[in-house]
Amino acid sequence: MRRVLFAAAGSVVAGTSLAAVPAPAAALPALTPPSLTPPSLTPPSLQGPGRSGDHLTVTVRNGGGGGPDRTYELYCHPGGGDHPDVGGACAALERGTRWGEDAFAPVPEGSFCTMQYGGPATAHVTGTWAGRPVNARYDRTDGCQIARWDRLVPLLPDLRQKGQS
pLDDT of residue 145 exceeding 50: yes
CATH number of the domain within which 127 lies: 3.30.350.10
Q: Where are the alpha helices (DSSP H) in the chain?
A: 2-20, 86-96, 143-151
Does residue 123 sit in helix, strand or coil? strand
- Is residue 143 one of the residues assigned to a domain? yes
Structure pTM?
A: 0.65
Mean pLDDT calculated for residue range 12-25: 44
What is the domain count for the chain? Answer: 1
CA atoms of 75 and 140, how far apart (whole Å):
25
In a domain, 162, yes or no: no
Its domain, for residue 82, covers 49-151
51-100 per-position pLDDT tens digit: 467 999 999 999 876 567 999 999 999 999 999 999 999 999 998 888 77
What's the pLDDT score for residue 65?
61
Is residue 124 a part of any domain in this protein? yes
Q: Is 108 inside any structural domain?
A: yes
Is there a contact between 137 and 122 (Cβ–Cβ < 8 Å)? yes
d(CA 62, CA 156): 12
Specify the length of the chain in residues: 165
